[in-house]
Amino acid sequence: MLSLKERPDLLKEQIDEIVLVLKVRREERQLSKTELADLIGRSVPTITKIEGRHVGLSLETLLLLCDALGLRLTLESEEDVAVRNRFDAELPRLLDVYLRLDEFDRGRLLGQALEMYNNTEERGR
Q: For a pLDDT cut of 90, what percent of the chain falls above it?
A: 54
pLDDT digits (tens, 9 = 90+) for 73-91: 998 898 988 988 998 899 8
Domain 12-69: state its class: mainly alpha
How does residue 21 score in pLDDT terms, banded at 50, 70 and 90? very high
**pLDDT score recorded for residue 59:** 92
**pLDDT score recorded for residue 68:** 98
3-state DSSP assignment of residue 39: helix
Q: Who has greater pLDDT, 116 or 20?
A: 20
- CB atoms closer than 10 angstroms to residue 59: 8
pLDDT digits (tens, 9 = 90+) for 23-33: 999 999 999 99
CA pair distance 20, 110, nearest whole angstrom? 37
pTM higher than 0.75 for the full model? no
CA pair distance 55, 118, nearest whole angstrom? 46
Domain ranges of the chain: 12-69, 78-124
Using CB atoms within 10 Å of the CB of residue 76, give its burial: 0 to 12 exposed, 13 to 18 middle, 19+ buried: exposed
Q: For the chain, percent helix, then strand, then coil, each to nearest 5?
A: 70, 0, 30
User: Are 29 and 70 contacting, i.e. CB atoms less than 8 angstroms apart?
Assistant: yes
How does residue 4 score in pLDDT terms, banded at 50, 70 and 90? low
Reported in sequence order, the residue ranges of the chain that DSSP labels E, i.e. its strands, are: none
